[in-house]
Amino acid sequence: MPNRHRACLLLALLLVAFSHGVTSSSGFAQEDGTSAATDLETLQAAAAAADAERSGAGDQVKAVTDQLQQIERELLDLRRELKKAEQSLKSAEENLPKQQEAAKTAAAAKEEADKARAAAEQALTDAQKQAEEAVKKAAEAAQKSDETARSLAETDQALMSAKDAVAATQPKVEALASSFDGTKQQLAEAESKLQSITAAWVAKQRDVESALKQAGEWISFREEIAPVFNDRCVACHNTRTAKGRLNMSTYAALMKGGESGAAVDPGDGEFSNLCAQIDDGSMPKDADPLTEDQVTLIKRWVELGAKLDAGVDPEEILIRIMPKQRQKPAPEAYQVTVPVSAVALSPDGTLLATSGYHEVLLWNVADGTLIRRIGNIAERISDLEFHPDGDRLAIAAGTPGQMGEVLLVKVSDGTIVADLVTTEDSMFAVAFSPDGSRLAAGGADRAIRLFDVATGKEQKVIEDHADWVMDVAWSPDGTKIASASRDKTSKVFDATSGDALATFNKHGEVVFGVTFLPDGGTIATSGRDKMIRLWTAEKGDQTREIGGFGSDVFKVAALPDGRLVSCSADKSVRLHTSADGKEVRKFDGHKDWVYTATVHPGSARVVSGSHDGEIRLWNLDTGEAVLTFKAAPGWQQVAAGAAKD
């Protein structure tokens, strides 16, 4: 209800109450008229009191009305505020999701800001640290600069002093240079004179030795004793296997003795340790004793002083100082075939060289007729290679466990051009450099030897393998040499310095063959693992493997177009492309292990030789066998074509 309505109602109630009071008083006066005057004042006082009460009630009503109006105003204000609050609440409720999203965004921003602040603080720390380091380095640089300046000043001073010294020394240097040239000439003359004097002394000493020999007072170590020791003793008493720590491979080593002391007591031919043991048969151990003549000869040599021949190097191995023994003659007519372990085609493709027994056989490629027999060679020929001039042939041969040799012979008449080296065991490989000026050879002594073809001199010995060197090959530019070894590795060497450049060990078995591909950067090797493997000459990294063989792969040769010819103990010869390793052709027909094969690109011919002594000449392009025969003079089994096997 509005405030004004409530005020009017209250006023009406008060008036009604007052009127009721007045009416009651009038009735009482009429009943007691006598007291009217007395009661008038009382009534007037009551009226005044009532008026005062009315006035007070009015004031109270007014106060209550004013309070009520104030309450209404406050209530109105509160309602307005409530409405505003409700509107604000509604707006807040509507804005809440946005504010929540904003709060989330703000929180994420704060997190990123915190991270950025942390990163900035770390960067500041790092920058401060770097600044400190920079300051430190600057200080050090300044100090170093000062020191350098001082050093520079000292160097300038020293330089000036040096210039003065050089100026003063130059005349002395020129004088010494002149003196050096003169001294060098004198040295050359002195060396030449020494050689002449030594040669004269050797000649005279040999005359003395010859005279003593005639008088029965001289035994030649080089000619008589060394051959016996080399044949009967060195196998057990050498550098690698020195039983009883006695090495008899050189005169110097023999005279040094073993674990039992001196082996030879010069002058005591009866009780020297060596003489006593060969006399009672305890040496050679587990072998037939020396003959009586051999024992007598050795004891007499010791009795005469155990001397070395004049001009003989006491450090040289026996096989190289003793006269080269003439080899057994090859049979006039072979009663049995022998394995073919080496073949080679001449540069023009018309001549074929094959291994024989103590000989090399030269055949006419056109019809298989025998042209020449080159004898006086060690028992087994392991490798053959024609010189680029076509008139010289390199031979690697040996008698297992006894000797090895590398020879250079003249093809036209079979004469020996150069006896390059003699070793204590077989030689297995030879290869001419592309220009024909050098020859590389490898063998059972684990070394690769390089020779000057013109002079026959040994230029370098590379000893890097741990076992036999089975094959060697030159890079197309002649700067590198690759090897294959029984130590299960293949290596690349600098052809000038002999330094090892790369090692390849992925075969995991004996490596038999090696060749460079025409690019000069890739090498192909073959081995007992029944694989041909291609790898880089620079680092020895394998790039491809070619399988499909049934047994050991003995040889591999490269054509100018990169194709590879190989032979195997699985009785086959094969042609592969090196680019993808695919087999192009398989040459079938051999009935035994194929030890060797070579190819002549110009005539498109492949030649192979097997354990049963058979030679096969194939057409490279068709795989047809155009010539087949046994490499055994007198065997008389030459057949033309595969149809005549």
User: 3-31 and 36-214 helices cross at what angle (nearest 10)?
Assistant: 150
Is 581 in the same domain as 436?
no
* Cβ atoms of 219 and 300 closer than 8 Å: yes
Q: How far apart are alpha carbons 397 and 379 in whole angstroms?
A: 7
What is the per-residue pLDDT for 32?
A: 45
- Flag whether pLDDT at 427 surpasses 70: yes
In the predicted model, what is the mean pLDDT of residues 391-404?
A: 94
Could you tell me if 590 and 498 lie in one domain?
Answer: no
pLDDT, mean of residues 622-644: 75
Look at residue 3 and tell me whether its pLDDT is greater than 60.
Answer: no
Provide the mean pLDDT of the chain. Answer: 85
**Are 317 and 359 in a shared domain?**
no
Q: What is the mean pLDDT of residues 236-263?
A: 89
pLDDT at 450: 98
User: Which of 212-216, 297-301, 408-412, 636-640 is predicted with the least confidence, judged by mean pLDDT?
Assistant: 636-640
| Residue 639 covered by a domain | yes
Q: Taking residues 345-362, what's their average pLDDT? A: 97
Q: Are residues 253 and 354 in the same domain?
A: no
* pLDDT on residue 61: 61
Same domain, yes or no: 442 and 507: yes
Average pLDDT of the residues in 342-359: 97
Sheet of strand 403-410, all strands in order from the earlier edge strand to the far edge:
380-386, 392-399, 403-410, 416-423
Q: Give the CB-side neighbour count of residue 332, counting CA atoms within 13 A.
A: 0
Residue 574 to residue 589: CA distance in whole angstroms: 12
Single out the residue in 321, 354, 389 at which a domain terminates. 321
Same domain, yes or no: 383 and 504: yes
Domain presence at residue 207: no
* Chosen domain end from 524, 542, 569: 569
Q: Which of 370, 447, 448, 446 is nearest to 615 (CA)?
A: 370
Over range 517-533, report the average pLDDT. Answer: 98
pLDDT(162) > 90 = no
Given pLDDT bands bounded at 50, 70 and 90, which one contains residue 89?
low
In a domain, 326, yes or no: no
Q: Which of 89, 119, 145 is the last residue of a domain?
A: 89
Q: Residue 193: enclosing H or E segment and its boundaries?
A: helix 36-214
Which residues neighbour 359 within 8 Å (Cβ) at sequence distance 6 or greater?
A: 330, 373, 374, 375, 377, 381
373 pLDDT above the threshold of 70: yes
The domain that contains 407 carries what CATH number?
A: 2.130.10.10
Span 311-339, average pLDDT? 92
Higher confidence at residue 1 or residue 198? 198
Decide if pLDDT at 134 tops 90.
Answer: no
pLDDT value at 435 more than 80: yes
Number of domains in the chain: 4
State the pLDDT confidence band at 372, using cuts at 50, 70 and 90. Answer: very high
Identify whether 214 is part of a domain: no
pLDDT at 625 over 90: yes
DSSP state of 498: -
242-273 per-residue burial string, b: 16 or more CB within 10 A, e: under 16: bbbebbbbbbebbeebbeeeebbbeebbeebb
| Nearest Cα residue to 629 out of 348, 413, 364, 347 | 364
Q: State the pLDDT at residue 481.
A: 98
Q: How confident is the model over 618-624, as a mean pLDDT? A: 96
Residue with the bigger pLDDT between 374 and 23: it is 374
pLDDT (0 to 100) of residue 131? 66
Confidence of residue 1 (pLDDT cuts 50, 70, 90): very low
Whole-model pTM over 0.85: no
Mean pLDDT along residues 255-267: 91
- Residue 192 inside a domain? The answer is no
59 lies in which domain range?
Answer: 1-25+48-89
Evaluate whether residue 190 is within a structural domain: no
Token reading at 303: 């009795």
In a domain, 539, yes or no: yes
Question: 250 Cβ partners below 8 Å, 6+ apart?
Answer: 314, 315, 316, 317, 318
Same domain (yes/no): 5, 70: yes
Tell me: do 484 and 626 sit in the same domain.
Answer: no
Quick one: 407 and 548 in the same domain? yes
My answer on whether 508 and 587 are in the same domain is no
**The predicted structure's pLDDT at residue 602:** 95
For residues 495 and 409, state if they share a domain. Answer: yes
Q: How confident is the model at residue 31 (pLDDT cuts 50, 70, 90)?
A: very low
**Domain presence at residue 140:** no
Pair (401, 411) in one structural domain: yes
